[in-house]
Amino acid sequence: MRIGELSERTGTPRRLLRYYEEQGLIVADRLPNGYRVYDASNVDRVMQIRGLLDAGLPTRIIKQILPCLNKPRIIHFPDATPEMLATLENERDRMTERIRCLTRNRDAVAEYLDAVRGADFTDTRCQ
């Protein structure tokens, strides 16, 4: 598939797809006319990358752990340094805290919605 289709299927701007390619996160073949052609597996790969970026991981770390996330989930990470492991542990802990915060905020929004939906709107001050 060409870059436009990959962009549409993943909701990722073409510019970001080119950036992912520059960073070595995805690979495209080139047609004789220079157009990029992506394998269908790149749809899942881009979604993985976006999820990891949304979780706050930088591309340099994503590049190192992407090979470990292929299906089947066989982990082979022979060059894991103590620094890399510490970085990943810190990122994991930061994600865990972010999940707690998001859960707390989601629950607050849900409570607000429940309260608003259950409120009596006959009060004219709200109109």
- Write the pLDDT tens digit of every residue in 67-101: 777 654 555 566 778 888 888 898 889 889 989 99
What is the reported pLDDT for 127?
A: 47
Give the other-Cβ count within 10 Å of 65's Cβ: 17
Domain holding 69, by residue range, is 1-75
User: What proportion of the chain, given as a percentage, has pLDDT over 70?
Assistant: 86
Residues 70 and 84 in one domain: no
d(CA 45, CA 25): 8
Residues 61 and 88 in one domain: no
Residues 63 and 32 in one domain: yes
Q: Mind listing the pLDDT tens digit for each residue in 2-57? A: 999 999 999 999 999 999 999 999 999 999 998 989 999 999 999 999 988 988 88
Which tokens sit at 52?
Answer: 């990891």
d(CA 98, CA 74): 27
Residues 89 and 61 in one domain: no
Answer with the residue of higher pLDDT: 103 or 56. Answer: 103
Residues 34 and 50 in one domain: yes
